Amino acid sequence: MTSFQAAGKRVLVTGASSGVGAALARRLAAAGAVVGLIARRRDRLAQVLADCRTTSPDSTMWVADLADTPTVGRLGLQAWHGLGGVDVLVNNAAIPKRRAVTALKPDEVEAVMRVNFVAPMRLTLALLPRMLARRSGMIVNVSSVAGRLAVIHESAYCASKFALCGWSEGLAVDLAGTGVSVKLIEPGPVDTEIWDRPDNDEPIYRGPKVAPDEVAEGIVAAMGSDRFEHYLPDLKPIVDVKNADLDAFIAGAANMASNAP
């Protein structure tokens, strides 16, 4: 593995007002990258930008709601021109929807898909022709372990993250040899606001959570790696067990769900 050389790189990060996105933006700016920040909350985003500008004065931000899918492509092009190009696109923004599938409404599922999958897709397709013409670039998709195995009462979230995983694999295959690389990040439980969002059921998970800065450090390491997929922390053995006997996994998860409060 070679280390990612952040100095001088132009990195566009979505979901940058808090959590992993904010930690990643600060870490990259401290290493000399020019960071473009995208998120909905202006005040929070402005604070992250102020922190980034202490070491990377050319960093900038765009306040936008990635659920507004018709505008996402234009936003990507605005960022490209504002930064003078984009070397790395980090699709990090995501929203939860903890709710049993029997209580879900179609509009709720579609809202999750718009932010967690459609927005990354549209940003990627907006920037990709320019990366391909330059024959260099990197697309980093922050999915989740929930994109590789089902989580109780998380069917909408899992669907969006499974979609992002499949999309990322397809990108990696199609872009091989073009100079544009793809990294898929699979965080486990991370200590962010996603656990406290309103209009969600109480989380069933009560175990340990990883700090956002630790995940951000792992993402930077992944950006310097030749590998495609990166679990942060390494929960791949659990996914491998699931894949070895999917019926047993579903039976076990269903039993856990039936005993959940």
How many Cβ atoms are within 10 Å of 174's Cβ, its own excluded? 12
Backbone angles phi, psi at 142, to 5 degrees: -90, 100
Angle, vertex CA 53, rays to CA 51 and CA 56, nearest 5: 125
The active-site residue, picked from 4, 80, 117, 157, is 157
Residue 193 half-sphere exposure, CB side, CA atoms within 13 Å? 14
Both tokens assigned to 73: 């492509």
**CB 184, CB 230: distance < 8 Å:** yes
- Asked if 7 and 196 count as a contact pair (C-beta separation under 8 A), the reply is no
Both tokens of 257, joined, read 């769900």
The yes-or-no answer on residue 157 being catalytic is yes
Both tokens assigned to 115: 């932010």
Active site residues: 157
